[in-house]
Amino acid sequence: MADKRRQARVQGAWAAPAKKQSAAHPATDAGSLLHQMPGQTWGNKEHPLSDRVFVFKEPQQVVRRAPEPRVIDREGVYEISLSPTGISRVRLYPGFIDSKEADWVLEQLCRDVPWKQRMGSRGDVTYLQPRLTAWYGELPYTYSRVTMEPNPHWHPVLRTLKHRIEDNTGHTFNSVLCNLYRDEKDSVDWHSDDEPALGRWPAIASLSFGATRAFEMRKKPPPEENGDYTYVERVKIPLDHGALLIMEGATQADWQHQVPKEYHSRGPRVNLTFRTIYPDPRGAPS
């Protein structure tokens, strides 16, 4: 044991005393700075307080958001807008034609109506309309620079449907535009049925058979919006087998409508739009 104590004293004598760091000259190398606590260097300095006052101000520019479309899918009368032009009103009658009769009507019309794919035009561009059409009425009808020639030989099913709609709505019609949407790729673009031959406030009766398709409406923007439809009111109406939709009042003056293409598979759909054509627009009711 004495030998071990002697050996420890000898080894301790070899160890040189630790050098003391001068308090007047603290280390400032990069390694020492890395071990400082965050904000330590900032906290060691004196900073004068600012007299500046910070005040929160609301943003000057109002953030606008496109409104969600209003969905109409139940029977009823809906006033969708009121403007200096007048009241825009739609009436929806789901199941106006019951399912079994609607099946029979769809079969008859798909088979007997002389469907034709016509050329459309937009500006200087002509194109095949993405649907098939046919016209019945004693007068011609021109829309989007497409003229439907007179066809007074009504199909008996179409004449029966016309009388039934007239008896239930109080409106009278002398023509019908038939549209066949073969599948989900067929459509009709934004438009209004506001041709002069229809009068100022036309009533349009739209009767649908076959696959359910979305009928979309958007309000025409005010003049200060310069034709920007981003923030206008919108309405979406699913039209199913046998459904009847009536558009009346200022709807054609203040709104547009379309049947867009769909991403999911859709079967054939026939849509009949009954309307009244006036030989002289000056004699149309105002």
Q: Summarize pLDDT for 56-91 with one digit per residue, the tens.
A: 777 677 778 889 999 999 999 999 999 999 999 999
CB half-sphere exposure, 200, CA atoms < 13 A: 8
Tokens of 177: 């535009």
Q: Work out the pLDDT band at 13, boundaries 50, 70, 90.
A: very low
- Give domain limits for the chain: 77-283
For the cut 60, the answer to whether the pLDDT of residue 174 exceeds it is: yes
Residue 242 gets the label, from left (phi > 0), alpha (psi -120 to 50) or beta, of left
CA distance 285 to 196: 11
The mean per-residue pLDDT over the stretch 26-40 comes to 48
- Spell out where 68-118 has E strands: 70-71, 76-83, 86-93
Q: pTM for the complete prediction?
A: 0.77
- 77-283: CATH number: 2.60.120.590
CA distance 84 to 88: 11
CA distance 177 to 141: 9
